[in-house]
């Protein structure tokens, strides 16, 4: 007589077999959810909301992924990394003794090296930081200045381009014309251990 009032008609879940109102305590509430949404929405109003939210999320995800895959056609990794260098403030740290501490940042270093009295080499470093393929750049430099140019490993194992002869006076213009992603402000000459802006 003092029993809890029971609903006259108990709705049993077709998934777990419990009365629908106990599904959330059942073994696999997740599996019950779709059935409950359809057959007992009054018992679980939150589920309806949850399902709607999930659909909204899914739609948003789809939108996002179409936007991403639509960019660039999705063929191969895009190696464009320019654009930001121009706005970065210049920071050159000098160690005691005037040596420049080089940070790994987006810049081109051009250095004229006289290997012996007659032989001069213009070294171009850093083009790869702007997404330029060094083998390609080396060919273009050799053709443009009608000289030998090759990709070699520098003293720090980093690849650089060695161009035979002194091309330092024309090379900046050639670089900025050939690779518009490289701003002139990112190009420096190395002279006697000092870094001198080309711009
Ligand atoms: Zn159930």
**In angstroms, what is the span from residue 109 Cα to ligand 1's centroid?**
69
**In angstroms, what is the span from residue 120 Cα to ligand 1's centroid?**
83
- Grouping H, G, I as helix, E, B as strand and the rest as coil, residue 143 is helix
**CA-CA distance, 28 to 111, in Å (whole number)?**
70
Whether the Cβ atoms of residue 55 and residue 37 lie closer than 8 Å to each other: no
Instruction: Tell me the CATH number for domain 85-197.
Output: 3.30.780.10
State the chain's mean pLDDT as an integer.
Answer: 81
Q: What are phi and psi for residue 33, nearest 5 degrees?
A: -50, -50
**CA-CA distance, 68 to 93, in Å (whole number)?**
39
pLDDT value, residue 187: 96
Whether the Cβ atoms of residue 182 and residue 189 lie closer than 8 Å to each other: no
Going by C-alpha positions, the residue among 27, 18, 26, 22 that lies closest to residue 44 is 22
Question: At 125, is the pLDDT very low, low, confident or very high (cuts 50, 70, 90)?
Answer: very high
Q: What average pLDDT score do residues 40-48 get? A: 85
Domain boundaries, the chain: 20-72, 85-197
**In angstroms, what is the span from residue 42 Cα to ligand 1's centroid?**
14
**In angstroms, what is the span from residue 22 Cα to ligand 1's centroid?**
7
Please, what's the b/e burial string for 21-33 (b: 16 or more CB within 10 A of its CB; e: otherwise)?
bbbeebeebeebb
pLDDT value, residue 190: 92
Whether the Cβ atoms of residue 22 and residue 11 lie closer than 8 Å to each other: no
**CA-CA distance, 37 to 132, in Å (whole number)?**
56
Does residue 91 register a pLDDT over 50?
yes
């Amino acid at each position: 007589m003092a029993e809890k009032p029971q609903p006259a008609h108990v709705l049993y879940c077709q998934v777990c077999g419990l009365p629908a109102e106990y599904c959330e305590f059942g073994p696999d509430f997740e599996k019950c959810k779709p059935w409950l949404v359809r057959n007992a929405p009054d018992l679980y109003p939150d589920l309806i909301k949850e399902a709607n939210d999930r659909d909204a999320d899914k739609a948003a995800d789809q939108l996002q992924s179409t936007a991403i895959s639509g960019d660039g056609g999705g063929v191969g990794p895009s190696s464009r990394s320019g654009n930001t260098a121009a706005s970065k403030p210049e920071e050159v740290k000098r160690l005691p003794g005037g040596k420049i501490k080089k940070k790994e940042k987006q810049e081109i270093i051009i250095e004229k090296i006289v290997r012996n009295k007659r032989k001069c080499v213009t070294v171009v470093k850093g083009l790869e930081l702007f997404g330029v393929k060094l083998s390609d750049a080396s060919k273009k430099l050799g053709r443009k200045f009608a000289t030998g140019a090759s990709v070699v490993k520098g003293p720090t194992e980093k690849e650089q381009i060695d161009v035979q002869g002194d091309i330092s006076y024309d090379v900046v213009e050639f670089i900025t014309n050939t690779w518009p992603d490289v701003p002139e402000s990112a190009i420096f000459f190395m002279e006697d251990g000092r870094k001198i802006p080309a711009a």
